[in-house]
Structure formats: C-alpha cells, structure tokens
Amino acid sequence: MSATSPQRVAIRDLLSQYRPGRALPRAFFHEPELYQAEMDAIWWRGWLFAGLACQIPNAGDYFVYEVDPDSIVVVRREDGTIGAMHNVCRHRGSLVATRPCGHNKAFVCPYHQWTYALDGRLLAARNMPAGLDTSRLGLRAVHTREMEGLIFICLAEVPPDFDAAADLMAPMARPQGFRSARVARVLDYDVHANWKLVWENNRECYHCDACHPQYARANFDRYESDDLDEHISRQIEAATARSQAKWAEHGLAITHPRGGLPVFPDAEGTIWYSANRTALVEGYITESLDGRRVAPLMGDYTDEDVGTLRLRTLPNFWCHASCDYAVTTRLTPVGPRLTRARATWLVHESAQEGRDYDLASLMPFWRLTSEQDWEICERQQRGVDSRAYEPGPLSKAKEYNLESFHRWYIRRMAEQTSVVHEV
C-alpha cells in the first residue's frame, strides 16, 4: 500500500480524531479498514503470546494458533526446542495440521501428502519430478521465543526486540513453574467486542466495586488516589510488611506496594510488557472465593504467602498467578467486533484432579471475573456502535492506564501509516 493510497489517508484521518484524555472515537471500534490496518501495524508485527510449553512436553507435540488470517503450528522439535511455522503447505497451500493440537512424528499434508519434519524441512514431495530442490520448500518459519514456559511468536519478517521483556519478566515468572506446570482446564470465549475494548477494561479498576465483588474483596486495585483513605493505607502497609521478610528471603520482591493498578503501558506508550508482584488483602492467601488455597504450591514456592504475580504483554496476554495456581488469558481478534479469549488454568505438575484440587474450587474466582468482564465489553460494544456515542472524559485518578494504552496504540498505528501525531 503506497503512502498516499486512499485507504492510508482514511486511516490517518481516523487516527487524527484521537484526543488525549478522552475515550476513543466511535469508528475505532467497528471500522473494517482500521481493523485491517491494526492487524498489519500491531498483530502481524509485534510479539504475541501463543501458548504454554507445558502444553507440548514431548517431541512431536503441537498446537495450532489462528491469528486472522494466519494459521500457525507451534511444535516441540526433536531436539527439545520449541518452534513455530505457518500451517500452509508449500505445494498448493492446504492446511497441513488439521487438528487444533496433537502429536506427530512428521507433518503430512492431507491433500497431496507432502511430508515435513518437525522443524519444517520438506522431507518428501510425492510424485514430483526428480531433482526438485526441497531445501527451498520447507514450511515458512515464524519467529519464536520461549520464556520460562511462556511461548511468544512474531509474524514479522524482522521482529522487534524481545530481550528487554525477557529481562524483566523471566526472573519474576521463574518461581511460578510455568514450564513444567499441568493444564487443569481451558475455556474459550467468543467476546462480541472489539479487542481494544477488552484491553481498556483490563487496564482500569474503576468498575471493580460495581462489577467484580469477588475480585474486589481479594485485591487493593480499586483503591486509587481519590479514595485511598488512612484506614485502607494502613491495611496495604500491613499486608506488605507481613510479606516483606518472607518474599525477600525467597527472592520475591514486592514491586507494587500501593493501591490501584500498576502503570502499564508506560506514560509515553512505548513499553509493551509488564510484570509485578503485589500483596493480597489480609485473609487471602490466593485468589479464591474464600482466600484459602485450592491446590498444592506451584513451582519453587515453599511458602504460601507470596501475594499475586501479574504478567502482561500487549496486544494479547495477561496472567494472574498465586501460590497455588495461575490463569493465563490470550486474546485474538477475529474481526472489528469479535475477540476470541482463551483462559487456561495451571497447577503444579504433579497435582491430580480429585486428589489435590477440584475444578469447582479452582476455577470460580477467575471464571467469574473473566465472564463479568466479557459481559461488560459486549455491552460497551453495543453502546459505542450507537450514533449517539461520543468520546467522554477519562478519570485522571482511575483511568490513567487507558490514556497510556491509547498512546501505545496510536504510536504503533502511526509508525505504519506515516502519521505525525502529537501523543
């Protein structure tokens, strides 16, 4: 697409409607041309959380991740490393892996039986002429990074830097034991809302008191500068002090000893990754309905009082992890008004359902919180689609992360559409 194409000009005109300190304009949540531009500028160029190494523990194990319109195979190779490839046969373009997950010694295209190794090399091209140069016909590779059991892929030819994210996130994620965890349950949701609405909802707790009673009882997130009174401040200080010595002993630093949500993205909208550990409300050892443990300790933890670990990467991943279990959430846009969300519950590798945990106790806290959020986002999508919608002012005390998210979004879009925009 040329820099002066009508479509690019239209995208620049849309982006120019953004006003700092206010919600995004109506067209940002349903315009097909803008959605396509987002896929190009953000989803096909940045690092995307694809899944978990514990999902594919053995050589030949794989899963497929669909990123509109691309189908990606993530596989454990013969040498034990994890790689990713476009799920597109180099003969005539058929999907090669037709199941969402499984185990293969090799990938055989179901159409004409071209056969590929686990690393994507073309091993056999049935009935093709002798002398065919198979070295140039392997499955197209996708950039892959595995970080403490979390798998990220990038569909760009040249991926952005990942090392800075790994330097921050890996030491904090390591004690949780993601790499060897057991998947207890996976739930997939079709959220009938634009992916940006889902992220906006994630980045503020303005709505928590009214919409998340279970979450609000366990966390200090809802207390911002405008309602953080002396009583609550003392509770936060006590919870932090209670854990400080234990966490320091085990190398688990407190990184967010305050009320409210941590700032993310950064104020300039340039950082796409985040990790923090924070204390839970007194009486809560884990994020469960009653605050009591629901599974054995995960990973390297030897004490249950480790607060909650939170990991986030734009545009598609967040994770809340307690001493006994973790929940990862992966977002994928399927259209301007549809986002697919996958929530995965993880426990210690040796934990057995029915003996060490039961799903009726393990799942409700985050299942309720997630489904409450999906309903919120779907209602908001219906509202912003209305011709009556106009962008309202953001709360400086409670929606500071929304403006930072908007800055990140506008920067990413502007970089790919040659927009000079003051953010």
Complete DSSP assignment for 170-210: HHHHGGGTGGG-EEEEEEEEEE-S-HHHHHHHHT--TTHHH
pLDDT at res. 423:
43
Handedness of CA 363, 359, 282, 243 (dihedral sign): negative
C-alpha distances out from residue 258 to 10, 68, 75, 279, 322, Å: 43, 39, 41, 9, 18
Q: Which two tokens stand for residue 161?
A: 């830097």
pLDDT at res. 241:
74
Name the CATH superfamily for 164-410.
Naphthalene 1,2-dioxygenase Alpha Subunit; Chain A, domain 1 (3.90.380.10)
Using one digit for the tens of pLDDT, what is the confidence trace for 133-191? Answer: 999 999 999 999 999 999 999 999 999 999 999 999 999 999 999 999 999 999 999 99
DSSP conformation letters of 315-328 = TTEEEEE-SS-EEE
8 A C-beta contact, residue 343 and residue 186: yes
| Segments of the chain assigned to CATH 3.90.380.10 | 164-410
Q: By mean pLDDT, which of 69-78, 221-230, 379-388 is the weakest? A: 221-230
d(CA 88, CA 171): 36
Using one digit for the tens of pLDDT, what is the confidence trace for 19-75? Answer: 999 999 999 999 999 999 999 999 999 999 999 999 999 999 999 999 999 999 999
Q: Which two tokens stand for residue 373?
A: 């959020």
pLDDT at res. 421:
42
d(CA 406, CA 21): 9
Mean pLDDT for the chain overall: 92
The percentage of the chain sitting over the pLDDT mark of 70, rounded to a whole number, equals: 91
pLDDT at res. 3:
44
| Segments of the chain assigned to CATH 2.102.10.10 | 54-143
Using one digit for the tens of pLDDT, what is the confidence trace for 288-347? Answer: 999 999 999 999 999 898 889 999 999 999 999 999 999 999 999 999 999 999 999 999
With the CA atoms of 194, 196, 44 and 46 taken in that order, what torsion angle do they form, in degrees rounded to the nearest 10?
A: -160
> Where do we find the tokens 């194990």?
61
Strand pairing of 338-347 and 122-124? unpaired
Query: Where does residue 357 rank: exposed (0-12), middle (13-18), buried (19+ CB within 10 A)?
Result: buried
Segments in 305-363 forming alpha helices (H)? 359-362
In the 8-state DSSP scheme, what is residue 261? P
Q: Which amino acid is at 178?
A: F
2 — pLDDT class (breaks 50, 70, 90): very low
Using one digit for the tens of pLDDT, what is the confidence trace for 93-134? Answer: 999 999 999 999 999 999 999 999 999 999 999 999 988 999
d(CA 418, CA 37): 12
pLDDT at res. 418:
60
pLDDT at res. 68:
92
Q: Which amino acid is at 39?
A: M
Using one digit for the tens of pLDDT, what is the confidence trace for 179-224? Answer: 999 999 999 999 999 999 999 999 999 999 999 999 999 998 877 7
Query: Is the pLDDT score of 9 beyond 90?
Result: no
Q: By mean pLDDT, which of 226-235, 342-351, 360-369, 372-381 is the weakest? A: 226-235
DSSP conformation letters of 138-160 = SPPEEEEEEETTEEEEE-SSSPP
Q: Which amino acid is at 336?
A: P
Q: Give the right CATH number for 54-143 from 2.102.10.10, 3.40.50.720, 3.40.50.150, 3.30.379.10.
A: 2.102.10.10
8 A C-beta contact, residue 173 and residue 371: no
Residue 184: closest CA among 66, 319, 51, 350? 350
> Where do we find the tokens 């908007």?
406
